[in-house]
Amino acid sequence: MKSNIEKVYSKLPNKKQSFKKHNVKLNVVSELTSIASSVSVFSKNIEIDIEELERIQNEFNSFKNSLEVDLQDLTDEARKLDAKLLQASELANELGVEPSELNQYENSFDIYDEAMEKINEANSKLNQI
């Protein structure tokens, strides 16, 4: 008479099962999970980077627009100052005095020179953009 163990063993297939294929399949699933997780992290990082880039672009455009407005205002005022300096110089010559002897002429001339330097600098920076 066969024991219970012998009965169980007799019902099992004689052929040995190979679990190598199953192991490979488990490794592939594990690798897929790992790679998918990495892709997800990098995608999220890119999303954050794009948002930050857009914020910086908006801020940059705001600064650029501010510079352009200030540059136009300075250019307009510098033209007015130039015209007044020319007028003061002509009046001084008519009176027979040096323009530098007029009150605020030298200071205004220095301010005009500084303004022209700033205008050139600002235009140069805008041309680089």
User: Quick one: pLDDT at residue 27?
Assistant: 80
User: Quick one: pLDDT at residue 111?
Assistant: 97
Share of the chain above pLDDT 70, in %: 81
**Residue 57: strand, helix, or coil:** helix
- Cα dist. 106→78, 88, 113 in Å? 15, 11, 11
DSSP secondary structure string, 24-41? HHHHHHHHHHHHHHHHHH
Give the integer Cα–Cα distance in Å for 116 and 110: 10
Domain locations in the chain? Answer: 70-129
User: Quick one: pLDDT at residue 5?
Assistant: 66
Query: Looking at the predicted structure, is the pLDDT value of residue 9 above 90?
Result: no
Residue for token pair 């009176």: 95
User: Quick one: pLDDT at residue 23?
Assistant: 62
53-87 pLDDT per residue, tens: 999 999 999 999 999 999 999 999 999 999 999 99
Output 4 or 30, whichever has higher pLDDT: 30
Q: What is the pTM of this model?
A: 0.66
The one-letter amino acid code at 58 reads N
Report the mean per-residue pLDDT for the chain. Answer: 89
Q: What is the mean pLDDT of residues 4-15?
A: 65
11-38 pLDDT per residue, tens: 666 666 665 666 666 788 888 999 999 9
User: Quick one: pLDDT at residue 44?
Assistant: 96
Give the integer Cα–Cα distance in Å for 56 and 47: 14
